[in-house]
Structure formats: C-alpha cells, structure tokens
Amino acid sequence: MSSAKKNKFSKAWLQDHLNDPYVKLAQREGYRARAAYKLKEIDEAEGLLRPGQIVVDLGSTPGSWSQYARNRLMRGGVVQGTILALDLLPMEPVPDVHFLQGDFREEAVVGQLEALLEGRKVDVVLSDMAPNLTGIPSADAARIEHLSELALDFAQRWLQPQGAMVIKTFHGSYYSQIVKAFKLVFQQVKAVKPQASRDKSAETFLLARTLKRAPE
C-alpha cells in the first residue's frame, strides 16, 4: 500500500472511530475500549457472568473486558468472586482485578496463577486475544489458529467441567478448523456476532460450554 493510500485509509478509519457510537458510549461509561460492549451483548444474551464466579481474562490489555467482568460480579458495592487478567503487555490497574503480566505457559506465571486460584477451578475464561495481522493470508491464518489453540489449552487445564469460554476468532480458511477443535473439547459451541462488532470486521466470537470428559 502506498503512503498516500495508507494515509487516506488511516484518516477514514479515524473518522469512523470518532463517530462510532460504541466509542462514545465507552467514553461516557468509563470503559477503556468499545470491546466491552461486545462482551456485554454476549453476556446479556447468554447469561455468562454472575457474582461468585472465578473469571480469567486472557489477553486482557487494555482492560475493558476485565472492567465489564468486575461490574457483573459486583453485588452490594463489593465484588463477589475473583477476576484474573493475563497479558504479555502491561495493563493499567483495574480495581479488584488481579493482573499477571507474562506468558501463561511460563512456569513463573503458572505459579502465580496457582497461588491466586488456591486449588479452585475457573468458571469462565474470556479471550479477546488477536494477533498482529500481516495481510499475508497464510501467515495470519497460522497466527490466529495458534492463539485459539493456546486459549483452548488454557481452558482444558484450568476450567471447571461445567465452565464456559468466549474467544474471539476470525472468518477465513482456518475458521472451520478452530470450530472443530472446540467441538472436540466442549459439548456446546456456538458462533456469536455482537452488534458492537463492526460489520466490516471478519471477527466473530465462539461461545463454548461444558467440557467433554477426557477419555479414561
């Protein structure tokens, strides 16, 4: 893409962003990103989050999903439950949210996670993770599939049997493979496209519930 085209694209994106009703709503309601409303729509339709749960937010930065989870777990002005947020990037603190910076496959992060969970299993795993896309279809497909595999592995290790998971993915040649992988692990898997997700975006979300029993 030439610099002139790139500049024109950037200006058009910025204009759309500034006029986006969800961006304005996020600013008014104190959310760090419009992504909070994608989770809100899924939660309100599916009854996902409630007080007393243990919730893990993978790829949490900048923190809007953690903010929304905190609001949903609030009862009588106090958070009932536990919210853990993990990301490779730093995140500004969110009240009542335990943030772990690092790779959740690494021993040090796993140790911190185990200490916070104290032997308990997770009720809901949230993942709004997305790779840096290159524009090269084969490379982007591999990156997207890899992130979904990481999230799925995390759920298999930490989620309680009746737990649920929401993960962002993208339509493409790899999409059916991701859905297939989730159906091997979960009893219920459905695709959800919230209204807050831009029409132009190829993103969609998978909602998965209830782990299948591992073979004896």
- To the question of whether residue 103 is assigned a binding role by annotation, the answer is yes
What the block records as the tokens of 10 is 């950037």
The single-letter code of the amino acid at 80 is Q
Indicate if 168 belongs to the active site. yes
- Choose the catalytic residue: 168, 183, 190, 193: 168
- To the question of whether residue 128 is assigned a binding role by annotation, the answer is yes
d(CA 117, CA 104): 14
- To the question of whether residue 163 is assigned a binding role by annotation, the answer is no
Which contacts qualify for 93-99: CB closer than 8 Å, 24 or more apart?
Answer: 94/63, 94/66, 94/67, 94/70, 95/70, 96/70, 97/57, 97/63, 97/66, 97/69, 97/70, 99/60, 99/66
Helices (H) and strands (E) in the chain, counts: 7, 9
CA angle, 95 then 100 then 105, to 5°? 150
SS3 51: coil
The single-letter code of the amino acid at 35 is A
d(CA 91, CA 111): 20
Strand partners, 190: 207
Binding residues for S-adenosyl-L-methionine: 63, 65, 87, 103, 128
Binding residues: 63, 65, 87, 103, 128
| Residue numbers annotated as active site | 168
